[in-house]
């Protein structure tokens, strides 16, 4: 058949083997076509010699619960979760890590016998990048744009680096305040500006980050900010 792969081609080291023993992983999002995760993860599987494959699955928000049940029943080994599912997926896990509990959001789901265990690795990964780049956060004033699942995981980790202040910027003042409340340390190591003048947010459209400068929310600032 024209264009068909030869059997010897399927045995090439650079080609993923897919058979009955292949472990299946996926990223769930809406939209998700732009995701580079399949390229990155499949390259990692090949380098590690794993019989595994990673795919992107388009899952509209109203069908997330149905999708998670079906993928678990089908034996999928693990999932990545991206926009707009991080917070909704948190509520659909049967167990969560401490980071996920604090963020009230997940970006990784690990298959367990009774359901999915939720992990929030955005904050851990962000701290690792900061350390690798040698960026000093102590005493600095930081601006975090957006108040979604990734922000909810990253801001509590930023607090541990002892900045002078963290300003959470979002189109939704209540979501910004929720991030601040979840991240504020009782010893005051970081003064979080709670629900100040909200000037914009970062949104992803077709994989491109877009800053929308839009005055919204309220203009009240916390006296302790």
The residues annotated as belonging to the active site are 86
Q: Which letter does DSSP use for residue 155 in this model?
A: H
Looking from the CA of 1 toward its CB, the CA atoms found within 13 Å total 4
Sequence-distant (≥ 6) Cβ neighbours of residue 32 within 8 angstroms: 56, 57, 58, 59, 82
91 three-class SS: helix
Strands 198-205 and 208-216: antiparallel
Give, in order, the Cα–Cα distances in Å from 53 to each of 15, 48, 91, 156, 180: 11, 12, 27, 33, 38
**Nearest-angstrom CA–CA distance, 52 and 48:** 10
Please list the residues that pair with 18 across neighbouring strands.
none
CA 170 to chain centre: 17
């Amino acid at each position: 058949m024209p264009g068909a792969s030869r059997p010897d081609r399927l045995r090439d080291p650079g080609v993923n083997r897919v058979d009955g023993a292949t472990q299946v992983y996926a990223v769930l999002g809406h939209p998700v076509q732009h995701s580079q995760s399949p390229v990155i993860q499949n390259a990692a599987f090949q380098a590690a010699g794993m019989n595994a494959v990673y795919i992107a699955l388009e899952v509209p928000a109203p069908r997330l619960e149905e999708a998670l049940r079906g993928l678990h029943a089908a034996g999928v080994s693990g999932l990545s979760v991206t926009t707009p599912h991080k917070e909704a997926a948190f509520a659909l896990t049967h167990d969560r890590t401490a980071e996920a509990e604090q963020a009230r959001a997940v970006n990784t789901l690990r298959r367990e016998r009774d359901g999915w265990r939720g992990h929030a690795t955005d904050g851990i990964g962000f701290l690792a990048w900061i350390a690798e780049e040698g960026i000093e956060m102590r005493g600095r004033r930081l601006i975090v744009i957006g108040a979604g699942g990734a922000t909810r995981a990253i801001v509590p980790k930023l607090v541990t680096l002892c900045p002078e202040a963290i300003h959470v910027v979002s189109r939704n003042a209540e979501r910004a305040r929720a991030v601040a409340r979840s991240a504020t340390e009782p010893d005051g190591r970081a003064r979080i500006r709670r629900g100040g003048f909200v000037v914009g947010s970062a949104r992803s459209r077709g994989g491109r980050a877009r800053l929308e400068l839009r005055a919204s929310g309220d203009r009240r600032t916390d006296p302790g900010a």
